[in-house]
Structures are given as structure tokens and as C-alpha cells.
Amino acid sequence: MSKKHIPEIMAPAGGRQSYLAAVAAGADAVYVGLKHFSARMQATNFSISELAQLASLGRDRGTKTYVAMNTLVKPGDPESAGRLIDRLQRTVKPHALIVQDLGMLTLAKQAGFTGELHLSTLANLSHPAGLDVAKKLGANRVVIPRELNLDEIKLMADACPKDLDLEIFVHGALCHCVSGRCYWSSYLGGKSGLRGRCVQPCRRLYTQGKNRPERLFSCTDLSLDVLTKPLLSMPKVASWKIEGRKKGPHYVFYTVRAYQLLRDNPQDAQAKKTALELLDQALGRPATHSTFLPQRPFQPVQPGEETSSGRFVGEIKREQKKIYFQPREDLQPGDLIRVGYEDQPGHRTLPIRRKVPKRGRMDIPFNPKIKGPSLPTGTKVFLVDRRERELTKLIKDLEKELDFFPAPEPKESTFTPKWPAAGKSRNLRPEAVTLFRTYPRGRIYNRAAFWLERSTIGKTPTSLVSRSQWWLPPVIWPDEDKKYRSLIKEAVKKGAKEFVLGAPWQAAFFEDRKNATLTAGPFCNASNKFALDALRNLGCSSAIISPELPFEEIRALAQNTPLPLGFVVKGLWPFGISRFLAESVRFDETIKSPMNEAAFVQKHGQNNWIYPGWELDLTKETRTLERLGIKTFISIRESWPKGVPRPKRTSDFNWKLQLL
């Protein structure tokens, strides 16, 4: 291993105890969230004063602090986001900000932030060509998707430009959908994963056909453990990231120690064995190598297996009116157990007050606040955190040291953002655009758009190619980079002029095609004027905003907008896009949740599109949108599966809601 390349071990911390556990373990860096603009809003997170103390202690111990401000920024957020960055810069002085939203890159520069800017995996930079675009926008690091295998990581590393490096997840929870491409929680009720509010509908029980309910979309954890050795030969992979800002200090301490051993002793068999033992003690979900090995990929969705976080320690039993369980191992005072799953009746997390020996008995106290049926017999119990004496002492010793780093006096920021200039007003006529997956039978009554695929280009008449929009997919994987360059070339040769980007990074495909007209598509997730301005600087002449935004946010975004706007008013908007799918899930057949919500899955290229069983329909709001200045209205036409009944209901997404 080159002495020059020692990747950092980056630990998660959702609260004070976990941060101190990371420092105690010797983590090279810790990433944290604040009370606002964090993609893990369910974690405890930090105030600026508290974080300033911890970051000072971290610097003293050689541990960097990275602050995740990796949420979607709504139209009214830039001023408060900029003030928060300004306060961070003056009090915490973090080594880096982790951001999802393009607008945050601009706001950080305006606020005078002097640290590094890292693009979150939620930014969905998934193919090599896009790395140059990230650098041009001011990023210093890109967190690459968890779905990539080793060969694809090499492709990304080989393409990575100077002064940009990569960060890879080595351990922790896997989302079923690609990061930045999940609208599931938001579509079902305004709690947006892009805003850090995901309620994890993928972890629920689902039923397909006459099968029993299973966790068809619930992933096991990722653990690269002994497979990390090849990453040591890639200098561009500068950071090994451990997921888990909602985890406790026990998990943080043991995972950091394990990956230190694997990094520092790649040839030592005993060190590998010890690392695996440490990971086994970390109390995560059952873990796999997922798709990391291209020659031996593992499907991380196994509906018949346990995918709850924590270690299984027993099942609920009943004795007359009392409920209890007998643990499979000793439980110590301070340990935390979780009873059942979040979607089960009586679900709760409980602290252990006194020692419970292996095969002893612990009664579950009655909780009058929990309504509905009590815990059923057989409900599983999981150990989710420990309070070991040795680790507790290490944390307490570090807490004493915090007294040497007094919290700074809170100071308000006077930062005022310099808003981007409004675009030139265009006297555009309203137009309806229908997006097709394949060339349709029959007549097209309005302007056509097509997903960019070779079969569609071949079937579309030349006279129509030049008058149509050509949409790139929301996710392009590393091995598809050349494919889409070729498809764009073929489409241009046939007369195509207007292309819709599925992600900002796809602008890289058009740097040598100055005559192409680019539109930022709805999957670019542009939700504020700074992001729209960044897209304008990438060559986009218009943008189609995501239908995830509620009306009030759309109205604010449309005022003095840097780019002309379009909007998706009708069609099958996906719950999410995934590279994973359980083998038992059948395409084009109804899948139902316990709440009787229907869904189905279709395969497009390498991706599985999970659709709700009912369409988005905001056509009745077209006149309202037109009065706001929006001129392009998109209808997405997907084939409706024969095995899925047509619903009577439609969705207006978050139109009338407040997007949390």
C-alpha cells in the first residue's frame, strides 16, 4: 500500500455521545447534521454551540468535522441556509460541508465558507463524465452511489479529475431506491426523503398476489469488511464512510475500530478476523457485500430474512395478562432494546434498567399511551444499543475535556444572499408535451417527447425527431456512459435538437454540442433560484421542476426565475428508481401495502421503476400554473400493466400540503 494513500475512516454522529465515541475510536473524520438542512432529521442532531465545542475537541484529537447540509433547498430557504453556513464558518469551522442541492454550492461561496464542499450521494452523480461538471461547480469531493460494484468504482476513480476525490460507503444501511431518486415517502404524504423526512415506506410489509406479506423492498445492511482491500489501490477513493447517524455510540465505536484494522492491516489474517468480530458486536442489521463484487453480486433484498436494525435477542411471550421475553444473551443496565417493527402494533424502544441474564425474564411494561392492540405473541425483540462500562468511561473522560473548549457566544448572522438575476422574459406560447417510452400507435395530438433509447430513435420518423424532446434517464451508471454518448450522437445525426437532462451531471455529454438545446428535467430536483442559476450556467435554457413541490413553493420559485419553467401535470410519477429487486417480485403485477396502497414495478434498462398504482393528475391546475408564468406542461405516458387494475383515484402529490 502506498504511504501516500491512506483513506480516512469517516464515522457518523447523530448526537453528542456518538461524536465522542467516534473520537474515542480514533476516527479520522465525523459527519454530523444540524437541526436544519440535514438529510437525517430523525437523528438528534446538533446545535451550533454544541457542535463548536465538539469540533474543537475533534481538531485537538486530529478528527475532522464534516457538516451535512444535504437536503433539497426550497425557494424560501436560501437566506436561512446562507446565514447558517455563515455561523458555521465563524464558530464551528468545519473541514467540509456535505451538500445535495446545487444552490448550496453557490450559497457556501457567497457566505465565505473556506472549507471543502462535498456532493452528497443524494446529488446522484453516478457516471464518470459527470465528475468534470462537479469540479467546475466547485465541488472537492463526490460521494458515489452505494449501488456501484468494484469495476464501476474503478471507472469513476480513473475518470476523476485533479483536485477532486471520491468517497465510498463501506458499511451501514442500504436504501432500496437510488439516493436522490426516491419520492415514495413524499408521494404518500409530504414527508420528503430529499428533505430528510423519509418515513421509510420501503421497510413495510407488502403483498403480491396470494403470497403472505413480506418485506419485499427492505434491504439488508452493507458491509464491505474484508473486501475493502482493493480500494487501497485507488488513490482517488479518499474516504471510507460508515452510514448511521441514527445509531448509538456503541455502533460508532465498533465499526470505526473494525475498519481501521482492515485499512491498516490488509495482509493480516488475524486482524481481519478481529475486525469481523468487532462488526458482529456493532448491532447493525444483517449485512451483505451487496453488489460490490461484480463476479459474485448478492441481492440485498431477501424478503424471508431479518432486516430490522439491531441484533435479534428474543420473542414476546404471554402469561395471562403479562407480556415478557427471555433474552438470548445478557442484557446490561443502559442497553436499549426495540420491540417489534415500526409498522407493528405496540412497537417501542425501551431502556434496560437492571441486568437481565441470558434466558432470564424481562417483563414489558404496559404503556397506556400506545393505542390499539397489544404486542402479539412472537413479536421480535432487538438489541439496538449497549452501554458498556469501558466505552462509557472513554466517553465520560472526553466529556470532561470539553470543559477546555467553552461553547462560543451565539451570534446572529447578517448574511444576505445575492440573488441570481432573473432570466430574460420570453413571450412563449403555452405548450403541452407528452412523454412516451416508445413510439406510440396512432396520432400524436401535441408536442412529443421520448425517452432516449436506440429502439425509439430508430422507430421515430425523421420529420418528428427534430420537433421532439429527447429525455435522458434519471440515472446513468458508469458502464452506460459511452452508450449515451453514442445515442446522443445518433439522435443528433437524425435531427434531434432538444434534450432533457435526467441529472445536472449529464450536461457533460453536450460540451462539444453547442447547437443542442438543453432543458433541466424534473429529476434534477431544482427547487430554488440558486439551483436554477447553476443549471443555467451549465447550458440549460429552461427547467422542468419536480411535481414534488407544493403550490406555494412553486409560486415563489416562478417569481423572477432565472430560467423559464415547465411542470409535470399528469402521468405515472415513480415512487422511486432502484437497481435492487427481490427475486420474488414479479414485474407488472399489483403489490399492496398494509394500508392497501397499490404499486407495481417495471424494468427499464438497468433500473427498476417502482410506480404507485394511481396516476399523478394536476391538469385541473394548468391555468393556475400558466398564470404563474409556467408555459410547458408535461404528461408522462407509460404503458399500464394488464395485471394491475385501473384505479378510480388520482394524486395531486404535495400540491395542497406543506413539504416537510
Confidence of residue 492 (pLDDT cuts 50, 70, 90): very high
Confidence of residue 276 (pLDDT cuts 50, 70, 90): very high
Of 88 and 311, the one with more pLDDT: 88
Which residue's C-alpha cell is 436560501? 78
Mean residue pLDDT of the chain comes to 93
- Report the candidate in 552, 565, 561, 510 with the shortest Cα–Cα distance to residue 655: 552
Tell me how far apart the alpha carbons of residues 526 and 157 are, in angstroms, rounded to a whole number.
27
Q: What is the mean pLDDT of residues 224-239?
A: 96
Query: Residue 44 above 70 pLDDT?
Result: no
Query: Residue 503 above 60 pLDDT?
Result: yes
Express each pLDDT in 98-107 by its tens digit: 999 999 999 9
Grid coordinates representing 467 are 420537433
Tell me how far apart the alpha carbons of residues 75 and 273 are, in angstroms, rounded to a whole number.
51
Query: Residue 372 above 80 pLDDT?
Result: no
Express each pLDDT in 534-579 by its tens digit: 999 999 999 999 999 999 999 999 999 999 999 999 999 999 999 9
Query: Residue 584 above 50 pLDDT?
Result: yes
Confidence of residue 345 (pLDDT cuts 50, 70, 90): confident
The second-level CATH assignment, the architecture, of 8-174+219-293 is: Alpha-Beta Barrel (3.20)
Write down the pLDDT at residue 1.
39
Write down the pLDDT at residue 281.
87
What contacts 93, CB < 8 A, 6 or more positions away?
A: 55, 115
Helix 529-537 and helix 102-110, axial crossing angle in degrees, nearest 10: 100
Q: What is the mean pLDDT of residues 299-312?
A: 83
Confidence of residue 178 (pLDDT cuts 50, 70, 90): very high
| CATH fold match for the domains 8-174+219-293 and 431-573+615-637 | yes
Confidence of residue 143 (pLDDT cuts 50, 70, 90): very high
Grid coordinates representing 473 are 434517464
- Report the candidate in 321, 323, 328, 315 with the shortest Cα–Cα distance to residue 378: 315
Write down the pLDDT at residue 599.
97
Query: Residue 189 above 90 pLDDT?
Result: no
Sheet holding 607-612, edge to edge: 207-208, 591-592, 598-604, 607-612, 576-578
Interior angle at CA 402, CA 398 and CA 406, nearest 5: 175
For 185, the 3-state DSSP assignment is helix
Query: Residue 248 above 60 pLDDT?
Result: yes
Grid coordinates representing 659 are 413539504
Write down the pLDDT at residue 309.
77
Query: Residue 63 above 60 pLDDT?
Result: yes
Tell me how far apart the alpha carbons of residues 75 and 82 are, in angstroms, rounded to a whole number.
13
If you count DSSP H runs as helices and E runs as strands, how many of each does the chain have, helices first? Answer: 16, 31
Grid coordinates representing 513 are 454540442
What percentage of the chain carries pLDDT values higher than 70? 97
Grid coordinates representing 171 are 458499511
Write down the pLDDT at residue 512.
87
Q: What is the mean pLDDT of residues 392-411?
A: 92
Min mean pLDDT across 48-62, 156-170, 253-267, 275-289 is at: 275-289
Write down the pLDDT at residue 405.
93
Pairing type for strands 380-385 and 311-315 reads: antiparallel
Express each pLDDT in 641-654 by its tens digit: 999 999 999 999 99
What are the angstrom distances between the C-alpha of 429 and each of 238, 484, 525, 634? Answer: 50, 31, 25, 14
What are the angstrom distances between the C-alpha of 545 and each of 128, 404, 528, 542, 554? Answer: 25, 49, 10, 10, 9
Express each pLDDT in 418-475 by its tens digit: 999 998 866 678 899 999 999 888 777 789 999 999 999 999 999 999 999 999 999 9
- Report the candidate in 570, 564, 571, 569 with the shortest Cα–Cα distance to residue 630: 564
Q: Where are the domains of the chain?
A: 8-174+219-293, 311-390, 431-573+615-637
Tell me how far apart the alpha carbons of residues 592 and 601 are, in angstroms, rounded to a whole number.
12
For 426, the 3-state DSSP assignment is coil
Write down the pLDDT at residue 61.
96
Q: What is the mean pLDDT of residues 295-301?
A: 92
What are the angstrom distances between the C-alpha of 165 and each of 70, 99, 118, 140, 418? Answer: 18, 15, 9, 7, 29
Helix 48-60 and helix 389-401, axial crossing angle in degrees, nearest 10: 100
Q: What is the mean pLDDT of residues 51-64?
A: 97
Q: What is the mean pLDDT of residues 109-129?
A: 97
Provide the greatest CA pair distance for the chain: 78
Query: Residue 2 above 50 pLDDT?
Result: no
Go through 360-371 and write b for each residue having 16 or more CB atoms within 10 A of its CB, e for each that does not: eebebeeeeeee
Tell me how far apart the alpha carbons of residues 240 and 29 are, in angstroms, rounded to a whole number.
10
Write down the pLDDT at residue 112.
96
Q: What is the mean pLDDT of residues 288-292?
A: 94
| 8 Å CB contact between 65 and 295 | no
- Report the candidate in 171, 185, 187, 194 with the shortest Cα–Cα distance to residue 121: 194
Query: Residue 129 above 80 pLDDT?
Result: yes
| 8 Å CB contact between 331 and 362 | yes
The CATH fold assigned to 311-390 is Elongation Factor Tu (Ef-tu); domain 3 (2.40.30)
The CATH fold assigned to 431-573+615-637 is TIM Barrel (3.20.20)
Go through 64-84 and write b for each residue having 16 or more CB atoms within 10 A of its CB, e for each that does not: bbbbbbbbbbbbebbeebbbb
Q: What is the mean pLDDT of residues 47-56?
A: 94
